Amino acid sequence: MSIITPLNLNQFSDELHFSNRLNSEADKLTPSPWGLARFIRREVRRRGLRTRRELRKAIAPFLMASGFNGEAAAVIRDLADRMVDVGELVDLRVENQRGYSAMPSRWVKLSETEAVLLGIMAAESCDFSADHPRQFLRRFIPSVQTVGDLEKTGVCEMSFDDWLGEPAWKDFVETKERIESLQDLWNWHVIRLEEEGAPFSSANTVLLAIAGQPGDYFGKPLNRQNTRWKSPSELADGIYLGAQPGYSENHWHPVLLSISGNDGKSLLLNCRNDAAAIFELHNWLLVAKGAKNGSPEQVELYPEGSEIRCTFPLPKQLIRCLNLAGERSGPWVYSVSDPRSLGQLMARYFPEVAFLTK
């Protein structure tokens, strides 16, 4: 006869790994991503395919029983989308509903002392530990023993190159002309600016440009004091990325600017009339501009504090790499176990960005 042991909310939450690493933001308690990811993997593994609604119905009761009474659907959806981003799940549509399916299990090596297991395979017997409050990925030391155990279960290594895929800036090439590098993409937009740009007066315009030195505080257009956002009248002649006011004081639309004395031209950036794609194109062009001018945009590595700090809005492909290796721990800051090794790895794939050890 089994003995039934009563558990309080905290004990039950600990048993489900929902509160071993609690996040508290704005006095709102949220479940540990580590425990929640275990539930998502279990549900997809059991069913092979789960809609968002099915995931919520399966997991939400456990969250409520553990004392987390927030918006369960949003919490589950946000983490599942993060798992899609790094390649643990596939995002698809099931009878006009958003859903998730499994990716083949594999592991990716980041350095001699760190690797990441991707996929939904059951791996509870392996030695994975959640060493950061926002961690959900299963990271491990790629020892001969561990790698051998994974291979016995059919889990093989996937190269970082294959995981990363093609350079994401290629998605923003909207021309049949030969574009073979990020700087070619920059040059093509500069030609469009000269041919199609709308004239403006540097002394009398609401346009703002991104100037300053890479590594300086970036800031926002709305409050440009002590930031890299400047009025064209303050800048030397040249080509700049910038923004013009949109439909509200908080909305700005990316533009490309040409300044020559008191005269200038501006070109609204556009990509498939998709706002997210337009800002992503803007971020890639910012990287291209820095590389072309010999003053590349910077990512700062802090080995002693196990942190990586971004000094400009990173394209999503770079953020995806940071999410694979660590967790976002603050605005423009990621917690990473080995910043120096990750910086060396990313520098091989993104040579246009300067990864500087501090």
Report the pLDDT value the prediction gives residue 277, as an integer from 0 to 100.
Answer: 95
**pTM for the predicted model, two decimal places:** 0.91
Report the pLDDT value the prediction gives residue 12, as an integer from 0 to 100.
Answer: 65
CATH number of 9-102: 1.10.10
How would you write the pLDDT of the chain (358 residues) with one tens digit per residue? 457 777 666 766 776 677 754 444 444 577 889 999 999 999 999 888 899 999 999 999 988 888 887 788 899 999 999 999 999 999 988 778 889 998 889 999 999 999 999 998 877 656 677 778 889 999 999 999 989 988 988 899 999 999 999 999 999 998 777 899 999 999 999 999 999 999 999 888 899 999 989 999 999 888 878 899 999 999 999 999 999 998 777 789 999 999 999 899 999 999 988 999 999 999 999 999 999 999 999 999 999 999 999 999 999 999 999 999 999 999 999 999 999 999 999 999 999 999 999 9
- For residue 26 the two structure tokens come to 């704005």
Per-domain boundaries in the chain: 9-102, 106-164, 168-292, 298-357
Q: What is the spatial distance between Cα 191 and Cα 194, in angstroms, rounded to a whole number?
A: 5
Report the pLDDT value the prediction gives residue 27, as an integer from 0 to 100.
Answer: 45
Distance of CA 60 to the CA centre of its chain: 26
Report the pLDDT value the prediction gives residue 28, as an integer from 0 to 100.
Answer: 56
Report the pLDDT value the prediction gives residue 72, as an integer from 0 to 100.
Answer: 84
Q: What is the spatial distance between Cα 91 and Cα 51, in angstroms, rounded to a whole number?
A: 10
Report the pLDDT value the prediction gives residue 18, as an integer from 0 to 100.
Answer: 77
Q: What is the spatial distance between Cα 168 and Cα 277, in angstroms, rounded to a whole number?
A: 11
Closest CA to 74 of 99, 52, 45: 52
Q: What is the spatial distance between Cα 345 and Cα 108, in angstroms, rounded to a whole number?
A: 13
SS3 annotation, the chain: CCCCCCCCHHHHHHHCCCCCCCEEECCEEECCHHHHHHHHHHHHHHHCEEEHHHHHHHHHHHHHHCCCCCCHHHHHHHHHHHHHHHCCEEEEEECCEEEEEECCCEEEEEECCEEEEECCCCCCCCCCCCCCCCCCCEEECCCHHHHHHHHHCCCEEECHHHHHCCCHHHHHCCCCCCCCCHHHHHHHHHHHHHHHCEEEECCCCCCEEECCCCCCCCCECCECCCCCEECHHHCCCEEEEEEEECCCCCCEEEEEEEEECCEEEEEECCCCCCHHHHHHHHHHHHHHHHHHCCCCCEEEEECCCCEEEECCCCCHHHHHHHHHHEEEEECCEEEECCHHHHHHHHHHHCCCCEEEEC
